[in-house]
Structure 1
Amino acid sequence: MQFAPAFPSLARHWLAAILAAALTMLPMGPISGPALAQGEPEFFEQPYAEGQWNIGRRLNESQFRYCVDKRDGDWEVAAAIADAIAGALLLEPQRYVVDSEIVQEDVTRVYALLLEHCDVHMGFKLIPEGYGNWAMLTRPYYDAQYVFVASDPALQSLADLPPGRPIGATIGTSAHVRLMSYLTALPAEQRWPAFPMGTNGLALESLRNGVVDVALVWAPEFWARQRQDEAFAEMHVIASDPLPPTVLPVGGVLLSKETFLRSAVDEAIAALRADGSLTQILEDFDFPAIAAP
């Protein structure tokens, strides 16, 4: 804070009085109550979007506005499912495709998209307690797995991989955590080295380049890579034995205030599941997932 040159003494006295008053209000003993959590994921923070107070309520209530992100391997499948949801609700689908070269973005971007462009953002893993109070999740529309991928035809399951051979695992995923827990319980001579990879793409590139013998990745991402690049065509999914499969449901995210819309979307997803529409969409894309129960 800056003050006019004519009043330096007055400014100092004023600040001193405010500071003294503030100090008298502090408790003399130890502060009770829960401490502030440190290092929480950014998704738990209340985000702020630039100019959010200037974004008004949309006027066209006959549309189902949804976002899909081209960086997600399943974005075309998610768009087809969203179009089906719109049809079930007798609304016109309004698609907004997020196209960005940034590998990962913070929660502010998702918050801004929901304010400006879409009512539902498709393609989120429904991880329990994984989202802040500002966000709300739909019911899942499909379940997919993290899969072990190999290029050696002799490898048909993880159990076929000799000890000491490297695995590249997408870091921080529930599948990665499960793998590390299993390896920690093994004797050192029976373990596979597990190299953390920043993204699914890096894990698959490491497999292609021979850096690792097996990659642990999100199945929809591997599916997308095989469609886009012939270099991945010869790779195949192997059984996860001796580990159980890691399955996660996938759905959409909305702003928490959109409770009526969430209920309507959930009912539409349930109807599409019951009449076989979701299963048909997944089969049409030959997509590695099943319709969520």
Structure 2
Amino acid sequence: MSSSSLPIALTNTVISHPPKTTTTNHASSSHYHYSRSQSHLFPSQPLTLSKPRTIAAVPSTPGIPAHENEPEAELVPEMMPKHVAVIMDGNRRWAKMRGLPTSEGHEELMKSWKRVAKLCIKSGIKVLTALLFTTENWRRSKEEIEFLFKLFETTLSSEAEAIMREGIKFRVIGDMSKLPRSLQKMITIVEENSKNNSRFQFIMAINYGGRYDIVQACKSVAKKVQDDIIHLEDINENIIEKELETEFSNPDLLIRTSGVLRLSNFLLWQLAYTELYFTPQLGPDFGKDEFEEALSSFQQRQRRYGGD
């Protein structure tokens, strides 16, 4: 997969401690199988950072990991981020380490997404954005891509009733024109049925990329100029932002699993407003403890910079 450099220096980064357990590498299988009783998945496409990151510093004690020197603090409901973006990676690695087919890593990741969505709702977080499939993920094998799309379609179908019951507004961003027609239809149905829900918003990025979003926004603006809806001299940041598929609020917190200092190809400038948190935990293992640790780190940094 290709990488893009991040054109802005970011200092709001936290790296968590290593995973609590390690596993032994085993031979992996390229065989894909499909099961109907699954939950959510969303593999991510990372980008390489080109500038140094400033890591949150804490006093160190010999022989004790840095994170253990930080005072523990209870989560404060009033300080919860309103919008959390999560990039879960490592599902293929997770399966390989256990000698399992890659497909099982994808299936386990689905369960992680369901856990995260429930944790967001329970914590009072209003928006969760998850990266499922990027414009660069087409480089994966045809077999894997077909498996991913079929798994997502069936999962969305099985979760449609729960989405309505829980008052979740479901939305997909990205170029859906290249997705299987059956998946497009399922997305449209769930989006339409849930559009008036307001308890929680679940945004999935499918066949999405920052460059794609910029290009489609520019085309939309150009069309409006051509149709005399706006004038060339009227074009500014606000005009372009309104045409982006990511015109909703910037994430307050972006969590990246697998412990690598890389980001997805979301719109890069939006990350200037986002607290970044990296964990070495692989996506399928990401759960309540890891999520609460990320929220705790976010709140501690908000206290520090906010003067609380």
TM-score, normalising length: structure 2 = 0.24
Higher strand share: 1
Identify the structure with the greater helix proportion: 2
Higher RCO by CA contacts (8 Å cutoff, separation 6 or greater)? 2
Largest Rg, 1 or 2: 1
